[in-house]
Amino acid sequence: MTEPAIELKGISKAFGPVQANKDINIRVMPGTIHGIIGENGAGKSTLMSILYGFYKADKGEIFVGGKKTVIPDSQAAIAAGIGMVFQHFKLVENFTVLENVVLGAEDSAMLKPSLARARRELKALAEEYELNVDPDSMIQDIGVGMQQRVEILKALYRGADILILDEPTGVLTPAEADHLFRILEGLKLEGKTIILITHKLREIMDITDTVSVMRRGEMTATVKTSETSPAELAELMVGRKVLLRIEKSAPTLGEVILDVKDLNVTDSKGVHRLKNINLQIRAGEILGIAGVAGNGQSELLEVLGGYQEATGTITLRERKIDLTGAGSDGQSRRRRGIAHVPEDRQREGLIMDYHAWENVAFGYHHDDRYRKGLLMDNAAIKADTADKMKRFDVRPPDPELTARNFSGGNQQKIVLAREIERNPDLLLVGQPTRGVDIGAIEFIHEQIVALRDQGKAILLVSVELEEILALSDRVAVMFDGQIMGERLPAETDEKELGLLMAGMTDLPEDKPVHQAVEEKLAHAGTGDGRGV
């Protein structure tokens, strides 16, 4: 019987009172793709950080290839043949691919021999695993998919036999993700061991051989992928049955609430971020914007939310809104009935060091009901917060707790409660369930649909195609600052949208969609020039 490539025995790790990992046991067999799935905060990343030497486990042992190994730092992990590809790449933007691969693994004080050796090895690796990248491109000039390949090459160059990938598809189009999976399959056939951390059930089902489920710091199950189902995995993750689909009625469309015409944004570096955007949203309608992160969706939200200047015209309920100058700030937008759940709640939507009650007033702190003469009426805000927390089931329902002490899902509920309860005409929602656990996802989706049913217009931006398809009444796809097309969810599928997300406008009518996707995949090796 073969020894497992990696075996963890009884790993425990606590951060203060939070038990991030509790007595974790796992065996990863060589030459397999092993998925680790769990909600955000389930402890997946902590476990991998222990394996990679970032954290020291409080208890437990690590065996690599059957040998007990101590991994005090990442150097030791690399020496043990473990490579890691992080969710956020660790590349030097203004270095070439080659320089990035060599960085930290130079053979001598002089660079030349190392670079030459790396160039040879890179070529070999590229041929072996379909990992084609131009070694002389600057990182800043290549697409995200290619950057990820550089990260994989870095690990392989350092002799990794075991490759850990942390949420690798978060930034990829479906086509790029498929390509990545083909690379991983190739690596597996060569005998490499791959650990894939993800919260996407589909990826687990598609590519892994074995899957381990984590929940609240514990390993709840390890099963053969072929012997399980998405529903079972979801239940193991959450600890109860979950609805994977949202039940919603057909929309009752009203008048046009938002009308965007020829919207253009050029940023401070002169990059054209939004190119002639035209869109309309009606009362009682959810318009979903699909697209890979960084293709202009954020800028669109920022313009509508009032913190990015633009040219063009935006009409809200048949009255124009200012796109430049003093009338184009967030305060004016709120007065006009635009509420905004921003994409990044920790950077934008909340002040992490503010109490929950201070956050509930955030952006609306000029409201008359929150003021008492010259001062703020803190008592009124607190009462309002307690009320909102109850209705949105924020846990714990303590207005005095600072925002950072709530979990991702509860932070999002605070933001949602604040924005939805304003009874806005238009609600902007960016990545409503990013970093939110499944239990809260359901609740958040229900709230958005409920607001739609009250006849509000909703602009939903999400990089999760499943979420877009499940919630939207109409879908627009953005690529490189443009809207590539609009579709009705019932009349499209992930493949077609994925094509649009990759910037293919000329939807083939003469041939089936999957064929076009395959053709696209053939080109996926070369940079697509997408700005990141």
Partner 1 sequence: MDVMPKWAEVTLVPLISLVLAAALSAIVILAIGENPWAALKLMVSGALGSTYGWGYTIYYATNFIFTGLAVSIAFQARMFNIGGEGQALVGGLGVALVLLYLPFPHWSIALIASAAGAALFGAAWAFVPAILQAKRGSHIVITTIMFNFIAASLLNYMLVGPIKAPGQEPATSKFPETTRLPSFQDMFSTADTVLFRGTPANITFFVGILACFVLWLLIWRTRLGYELRAFGHSESAAKYAGISPTKIIVVSMLISGGLAGMMAINNVQGEAERLVLNAVEGAGFIGIAVALMGRSHPVGVFLAALLFGFLYQGGAELALWTGIPRELIVVIQALVILFTGALDNMVRMPLEKVFLSMRRPPKPDRKSTTARTAE
| Shortest distance in whole angstroms from residue 229 CB to partner 1 | 19
Does residue 330 belong to the site contacting partner 1 (CB under 8 A)?
Answer: yes
Does residue 365 belong to the site contacting partner 1 (CB under 8 A)?
Answer: yes
- Which residue among 16, 72, 270, 325 contacts partner 1 (CB under 8 A)? 16
Only one residue has tokens 């950077």, namely 347
Does residue 361 belong to the site contacting partner 1 (CB under 8 A)?
Answer: yes
Q: Kindly tell me which of 149 and 340 has the beta carbon lying closer to partner 1.
A: 340
Q: Are 487 and 496 in contact (CB under 8 A)?
A: yes
DSSP state of 251: P
Does residue 220 belong to the site contacting partner 1 (CB under 8 A)?
Answer: no
Amino acid identity for residue 182 in this structure: R
Does residue 12 belong to the site contacting partner 1 (CB under 8 A)?
Answer: no
The widest CA-to-CA distance across the chain, in whole angstroms, is: 78
| Shortest distance in whole angstroms from residue 252 CB to partner 1 | 28
Does residue 306 belong to the site contacting partner 1 (CB under 8 A)?
Answer: yes
Q: Kindly tell me which of 319 and 347 has the beta carbon lying closer to partner 1.
A: 347
If residue 371 lies in a helix (H) or strand (E), which one and from where to where? strand 371-372
Does residue 95 belong to the site contacting partner 1 (CB under 8 A)?
Answer: no
Q: What are the Cα distances from residue 149, in Å, to 34, 100, 139, 140?
A: 19, 12, 11, 14
Q: Kindly tell me which of 340 and 388 has the beta carbon lying closer to partner 1.
A: 340
User: What whole-number distance in Å separates Cα of residue 382 and Cα of residue 398?
Assistant: 10
Does residue 390 belong to the site contacting partner 1 (CB under 8 A)?
Answer: no
Sign of the torsion formed by the C-alpha atoms of 395, 401, 407 and 410? positive
Does residue 41 belong to the site contacting partner 1 (CB under 8 A)?
Answer: yes
Q: What are the Cα distances from residue 261, in Å, to 99, 264, 270, 275, 313?
A: 45, 9, 21, 11, 5
**H helix runs in 336-437, sequence order:** 356-360, 378-391, 408-420
User: What whole-number distance in Å separates Cα of residue 196 and Cα of residue 163?
Assistant: 8
User: What whole-number distance in Å separates Cα of residue 365 and Cα of residue 188?
Assistant: 56
Q: Are 320 and 260 in contact (CB under 8 A)?
A: no
Does residue 305 belong to the site contacting partner 1 (CB under 8 A)?
Answer: yes
Q: Which stretch binds partner 1 (CB under 8 A): 164-172, 357-365, 500-508, 509-517?
A: 357-365
- Which residue among 61, 128, 329, 453 contacts partner 1 (CB under 8 A)? 329
Token pair recorded at residue 475: 């879908």
- Which residue among 348, 387, 493, 494 contacts partner 1 (CB under 8 A)? 348
- Which residue among 405, 423, 505, 515 contacts partner 1 (CB under 8 A)? 405
Does residue 238 belong to the site contacting partner 1 (CB under 8 A)?
Answer: yes
Does residue 393 belong to the site contacting partner 1 (CB under 8 A)?
Answer: yes
User: What whole-number distance in Å separates Cα of residue 462 and Cα of residue 451?
Assistant: 18
Does residue 368 belong to the site contacting partner 1 (CB under 8 A)?
Answer: no
Q: Are 120 and 153 in contact (CB under 8 A)?
A: no
Token pair recorded at residue 17: 């009172």
**What is the β-pairing status of strands 375-376 and 371-372?**
antiparallel
- Which residue among 353, 383, 512, 515 contacts partner 1 (CB under 8 A)? 353
Does residue 342 belong to the site contacting partner 1 (CB under 8 A)?
Answer: yes
- For partner 1, the binding residues in 124-183 under the rule CB under 8 A are none
Q: Kindly tell me which of 114 and 410 has the beta carbon lying closer to partner 1.
A: 410
Q: Kindly tell me which of 255 and 329 has the beta carbon lying closer to partner 1.
A: 329
Q: Kindly tell me which of 3 and 235 has the beta carbon lying closer to partner 1.
A: 235
Amino acid identity for residue 370 in this structure: Y
- For partner 1, the binding residues in 427-446 under the rule CB under 8 A are 436-437, 439-440, 443
Decide: helix, strand or coil at residue 306: coil
| Shortest distance in whole angstroms from residue 337 CB to partner 1 | 14
Q: Which stretch binds partner 1 (CB under 8 A): 99-107, 176-184, 267-275, 352-360?
A: 352-360
Please, is 348 exposed, middle or buried when counting C-beta atoms within 10 Å of its C-beta (0-12, 13-18, 19+)? middle
Q: Kindly tell me which of 76 and 351 has the beta carbon lying closer to partner 1.
A: 351
| Shortest distance in whole angstroms from residue 277 CB to partner 1 | 20
Which residue from 510, 497, 505 is spatially nearest to 175, judged by alpha carbons?
Answer: 497
Looking at the chain, how many residues does it have?
Answer: 532
- Which residue among 407, 486, 494, 516 contacts partner 1 (CB under 8 A)? 407
- Which residue among 12, 74, 222, 402 contacts partner 1 (CB under 8 A)? 402
Q: Which stretch binds partner 1 (CB under 8 A): 119-127, 133-141, 189-197, 304-312?
A: 304-312
Does residue 314 belong to the site contacting partner 1 (CB under 8 A)?
Answer: no
Q: List strands edge to edge, sheet with 162-166.
A: 82-85, 162-166, 193-198, 33-38, 210-215, 218-224
Does residue 109 belong to the site contacting partner 1 (CB under 8 A)?
Answer: no
Token pair recorded at residue 136: 């002389």
- Which residue among 331, 387, 464, 519 contacts partner 1 (CB under 8 A)? 331
Does residue 38 belong to the site contacting partner 1 (CB under 8 A)?
Answer: no
User: What whole-number distance in Å separates Cα of residue 196 and Cα of residue 218?
Assistant: 17
- Which residue among 69, 147, 193, 410 contacts partner 1 (CB under 8 A)? 410
Q: Which stretch binds partner 1 (CB under 8 A): 74-82, 251-259, 279-287, 353-361?
A: 353-361
Q: In the beta sheet, which residues pair with residue 198?
A: 37
| Shortest distance in whole angstroms from residue 247 CB to partner 1 | 17
**What is the β-pairing status of strands 256-266 and 311-316?**
antiparallel
Binding residues for partner 1 (CB under 8 A):
16-18, 41, 216, 238-240, 305-307, 329-334, 340, 342, 344, 347-354, 358, 361-363, 365-366, 371, 374-376, 378, 393, 395-396, 401-402, 404-410, 413, 436-437, 439-440, 443
